[in-house]
Amino acid sequence: MCGIVGIIDRKNGIDPPMLKKMADCLAHRGPDAEGFLFFDKMRSALCSTFTPPAFAPTGGFGHRRLSIIDLSGGAQPLGNEDGTVWVTYNGEIYNHLQLREELKGFGHQFRTDHSDTEIIVHAYEQWGVEAFDRFNGIFAFGIVDLKLQKLLLARDHFGVKPLYYYFSGGRFMFSSEAKAILHCPSVARHLDLQALSDYLSFRYVPSPLTTFKGIFKLEAGAFLEFDMAGNAVLQSASFRSATAAIDHSKKFPQWVSEYQDLFERSVTNQLISDVEIGVLLSGGIDSSAVCSIAAKHLDKQIRTYTVGFKDFPSGNEIDEATEFARHLGTIHKNVIIDDLDFITVLDQVAYFMDEPTATSSAIPLYYLTKQIKNDVKVVLTGQGADEPLAGYPRYRGERLYHSGFGHLGCLQPMIERLPRQERLKRAFRSFSHHDAFDRFMAVYYLFSPVQQAALLKEPIPCQANPLLERLFKEYQADDALGRMLYMDTRAWLPDDLLIYGDKATMINSIEARVPILDKELIRFIESMPSKYKLSFLLKGKFIHKKACEKWLPPFVIKRPKKGFDTPIDKWFRNELGGYVRDQLLGGTICRRLFNASFLEEMMARHREGKENFQRHLFALLMLEKWAQRYRVDLG
């Protein structure tokens, strides 16, 4: 895993020291080595340590390496035989050995022993952009084709690896993290108001927008083509193959058997590494199953790690994880944090996340990886099962709506009067919508359009998010529940959960892998009727739990789902209430954007137990911390 940067500017040329500064900004993503490529229309110069070229370059790549595969080879940027195609790459291609053999059959010659990076160059030469859909892995990369005078960017199928870009004044830049682009003095730090509205609505900003106006993130499963000669973005499009058709021919036992084979293959494929691998263990089914399969296939005792909160038994899974680690015989470590730990790292979290994060679990994940970074460079996680396999309560709500319970939307006024019950209130608000897209949005909303209107001093026009709307229309394979799972797997998962998973681990130079998001496994899952994901008795991840009986003891399978939670609800009503108030009412951006009376009322109702506004308050707090850390203005 690595950090990548690039600049193209045919009109003005590029400043090599600026490229170096951008790469240095990502040293945490790649502390083991660096590399640079400089080029113009005819020439290129590669250097393993920063050395300005003898010519005036109009383009350049920078790379910071975290060595995991082919430790002695695989240095980047890496080119083809004649130096006309180069790549700078972050990620892992798990099927690279199979692709290598296939490409050798076409006559391609490889210089490295088993570097997955070299696969990208030769696959692009052989198949063009169609190669990207052949990669089964987690990746973000930039390719420069000096013959065709174009740059290509790509982000993996489910967006495990982030990729940002910026184009203004003839200069095109890209990077693994937005902060590297911000090192360029000409890049303004203005808040994007439409992105702000999305953030308030969904707790994250769907691609391609970011909260920095003019900086964009590439959509999961997409590529971007930039014409260097014409100085223009030619296209940004999906490289993913068509949605899998629903297969109604198989019986449930066959689905379970095939699921087990694909899941085990996915975990074993992601054990490829020339360094030690650990597992982030929550005690739930997903990470426990990944850990059990990994332990079966590794030839040494596996290390496992769990994080929890002091004096918070209802949200911790420390005991459950420790019990399973003892059962499996792992080398286990628990990390415990408290409210002081939480508050002291908010500035750091605001910095390494690049954008405001409304997902509080990014903080304990950061703490955990900070504690274990001297043990392992790679960890497996159980992330990615809930979205394609219907693990969240909102999926039960959608099934209930289509089972005749939609008329309960008439009870919404009564439900709104209940104390707290924020999740239940969203469910009943969604029941009042007969249009499926509007119903989905109602259950997703953090601040509803009505709440946003009361919160904001200056209104932001409400409009449907283009990515969510396109994904909604794109999916035609199954029922409304299948459409919701499809959208979440391609929007919320990559642009929220996986982004914070990447950044909270990579800030500590650790690569997090997500075996459940294997390309072939997800395609198989999406060919499955939704009744096997969410049963008629409303049991989520139904087939997943059944399949995992092969590897897990009954005490794990039958354990009620806890989900990873944080005690910010209690903290915001007690220990941290004053801190939150000071930040929101006396900060740099919230006081300019939001009505103080609305904020005061929110905090009072949360403190008094009349509403559960922990998610709302945390989202606003992190917006404020982000704006302070990056000195963002309103433009």
SS (H, E, C) 593-634: HECHHHHHHHHHHHHCCCCCCHHHHHHHHHHHHHHHHHCCEC
As given in the structure block, the two tokens for residue 482 are 């299948």
Q: Is residue 99 part of a domain?
A: yes
**pLDDT class of 594 with cuts at 50, 70, 90:** very high
Q: 3-state class of 96 per DSSP? A: helix
For the chain, the C-alpha Rg in angstroms (whole number) is: 24
Q: Is the dihedral of CA 483, 485, 491, 492 positive or negative?
A: positive
Residue 21 vs residue 559, higher pLDDT = 21
Q: Is residue 536 part of a domain?
A: yes
- Identify whether residues 171 and 55 lie together within a single domain: yes
Question: Which CATH number belongs to the domain containing residue 11 in this structure?
Answer: 3.60.20.10
Per-residue pLDDT tens over the stretch 286-307: 999 999 999 999 999 999 999 9
Residues 6 or more apart whose CB falls under 8 angstroms from that of 164 comprise 174, 175, 176, 177, 178, 181, 210, 215, 216, 217, 218, 354
Residues 163, 182: contact at Cβ < 8 Å?
Answer: no
The 10 Å CB-count burial string (b at 16+, else e) for 132-169 is bbbbbbbbbbbbbbbeeebbbbbbbbbbbbbbbbbbee
- Identify whether residues 598 and 628 lie together within a single domain: yes
Domain extent for 572: 567-635
Cα dihedral 242, 387, 3, 358 in deg (nearest 10): 130
Residue the block writes with tokens 């910010």: 568
Cβ count near 435 (within 10 Å)? 9
Residues 6 or more apart whose CB falls under 8 angstroms from that of 117 comprise 74, 76, 78, 87, 89
- Identify whether residues 183 and 48 lie together within a single domain: yes
- Identify whether residues 539 and 577 lie together within a single domain: no
Number of domains in the chain: 3
**pLDDT class of 564 with cuts at 50, 70, 90:** low
- Identify whether residues 228 and 262 lie together within a single domain: no
Q: Is residue 416 part of a domain?
A: no
- Identify whether residues 326 and 377 lie together within a single domain: yes
Question: Which CATH number belongs to the domain containing residue 312 in this structure?
Answer: 3.40.50.620
pLDDT (average), residues 415-420: 88
Residue among 223, 273, 236 at smallest CA distance from 67: 273
Residue 568 vs residue 76, higher pLDDT = 76
Is it the case that residue 255 has pLDDT exceeding 90?
A: yes
- Identify whether residues 169 and 273 lie together within a single domain: no
- Identify whether residues 214 and 316 lie together within a single domain: no
Q: Is residue 436 part of a domain?
A: no
- Identify whether residues 262 and 188 lie together within a single domain: no
Cα–Cα distance, 593 to 148 (Å, whole number) = 47
- Identify whether residues 525 and 602 lie together within a single domain: no
Q: Is residue 616 part of a domain?
A: yes
**pLDDT class of 348 with cuts at 50, 70, 90:** very high
- Identify whether residues 224 and 282 lie together within a single domain: no
Is it the case that residue 146 has pLDDT exceeding 90?
A: yes
| Single-letter amino acid, residue 65 | R
Cα–Cα distance, 31 to 26 (Å, whole number) = 9
Per-residue pLDDT tens over the stretch 159-215: 999 999 999 999 999 999 999 999 999 999 999 999 999 999 999 999 999 999 999
Looking at the whole model, is its pTM more than 0.75?
yes
Per-residue pLDDT tens over the stretch 15-60: 999 999 999 999 999 999 999 999 999 899 999 999 999 999 999 9
Q: Is residue 488 part of a domain?
A: no
Is it the case that residue 561 has pLDDT exceeding 80?
A: no
- Identify whether residues 575 and 509 lie together within a single domain: no
Question: How high is the mean pLDDT of the chain?
Answer: 93
Q: Is residue 409 part of a domain?
A: no
Q: Is residue 624 part of a domain?
A: yes
